[in-house]
Amino acid sequence: MIEYENLGKLNKPFFEEYEKTFKQTLESGWYILGSKVQSFENEFAVYCNTRYCVGLANGLDALILALRAFNFEKGTEVIVPSNTYIATILSIVHNNLQPILVEPDITTYNIDAKKIEEKITSKTRAIMVVHLYGKMCEMDIITAIAKKYNLKIIEDCAQAHGATYKKKKAGNWGDFGAFSFYPTKNLGAVADAGAMTTNDEQLAETIKILRNYGSKTKYYNEAVGFNSRLDEIQAAFLSVKLKQLDKINSHKRKLAALYLQYLKPDFIKPVIHSDYDDIYHIFNIRHPKRDALKDYLLKNEIKTDIHYPVAPNKQKAMLGILDNQPTPIAEEIHQTTLSLPISYFHTEEDVLKVIEVMNKF
């Protein structure tokens, strides 16, 4: 059986260093907001080429706090791609703001920059871009639109650790880059974890206050804050893994290159372009008989996944919030997309086997 993902196997190369750093952190007796979090924040800021990084509890919190930092008034409209993972949209709803869906480009699966301007109204204050599957959005065009209309940009970088567009990294284009270190992500912890990147000192300070009960000095609260702290043990693990992130990304790129080269053209493959350095958090193909293909692969001992089976505006939770915004392109993607095995533990032989079986479909 070729698994889609296996977190034990994925993390195996890091076990020895994790055990060492776990023991050391345990014995230090300092478990929340200490030197391990600070070190990881510094290292990740350097990696993303941003001035600041603030560790947080998870990716959803990073998105929620990014919007909260701007104190937008209730009912403010926030532009978001219609085919994103639900977390991006939840962060808007949790801030009492209105998500405005913009359809993706059918070839890149990312927000169609040409369709943003027509959705901007006098109530629009921000654009949340999502670098889906590990490919970045067209950030030069999007930052120009944001500048023209005086909008904030929040990048959902949960699938894009180390991805670049025109040589500049994800998390370094917008006002904020919101990261998740959920275990399956290219930079994954062994529990929930997240972070925010920014180049603005004041915004970094605001996020630090919001993550810790709205407090800068213990027991003095200056904002209605949250508890969204990254813990020392996960931060220590993340520092270990961050050193190998480029290696993880290039392994996934190598596997992606095999799929791109050898899968027969019946499958609609991800596009590549020299402006983009994709990290293939997910490698998806599209096929009109997606469900039959998924069953066929499973019968041949190959597990796959679907990102995502249901479009956000078709989710029960979004009744009354998104259901008056039709999104035919997103739905087309949700009905035809299939994610193939591309984990750090998969070998070239695994992928060649998947290709061999797929090409007989």
Ligand X SMILES: *Cc1c(COP(=O)(O)O)cnc(C)c1O
Q: Interface with ligand X by CB under 6 A: which residues?
A: 58-60, 84-85, 87-88, 130, 156, 158-159, 180, 182, 192, 194
The CB-of-195 to ligand X minimum distance in angstroms stands at 10
Tell me whether residue 85 or residue 213 sits nearer to ligand X (CB atom): 85
CA torsion sign, 56 to 60 to 61 to 64?
A: positive
Tell me whether residue 59 or residue 174 sits nearer to ligand X (CB atom): 59
Please give the backbone phi and psi of residue 331, each rounded to the nearest 5 degrees, phi first: -65, -40
* CA proximity to 68, closest of 206, 193, 200: 206
The CB-of-194 to ligand X minimum distance in angstroms stands at 5
Chain residue whose CB lies nearest ligand X: 59
The CB-of-178 to ligand X minimum distance in angstroms stands at 7
> In 213-344, which residue ranges form alpha helices assigned H by DSSP?
232-242, 245-262, 290-299, 328-336
For 9-15, the CB contacts below 8 A with 24+ separation are 9/343, 9/345, 10/183, 10/188, 10/343, 10/344, 10/345, 11/183, 11/190, 12/345, 13/244, 13/344, 14/237, 14/240, 14/241, 14/244
Tell me whether residue 210 or residue 358 sits nearer to ligand X (CB atom): 210
**What are the residues facing 100 on neighbouring strands?**
79
Tell me whether residue 5 or residue 149 sits nearer to ligand X (CB atom): 5
Tell me whether residue 57 or residue 293 sits nearer to ligand X (CB atom): 57
Tell me whether residue 333 or residue 358 sits nearer to ligand X (CB atom): 333
**CA-based Rg of the chain, rounded to a whole angstrom?**
20
For 99-164, give the DSSP string.
Answer: EEEEPBPTTT-SB-GGGTGGG--TTEEEEEEE-GGG----HHHHHHHHHHHT-EEEEE-TT-TT-E
Tell me whether residue 180 or residue 234 sits nearer to ligand X (CB atom): 180
Local structure of 339: helix, strand or coil = strand
Q: Classify burial at 315, counting beta carbons within 10 Å of its beta carbon; exposed 0-12, middle 13-18, buried 19 or more.
A: middle
The CB-of-87 to ligand X minimum distance in angstroms stands at 3
The CB-of-42 to ligand X minimum distance in angstroms stands at 21
The CB-of-110 to ligand X minimum distance in angstroms stands at 11
The CB-of-156 to ligand X minimum distance in angstroms stands at 5
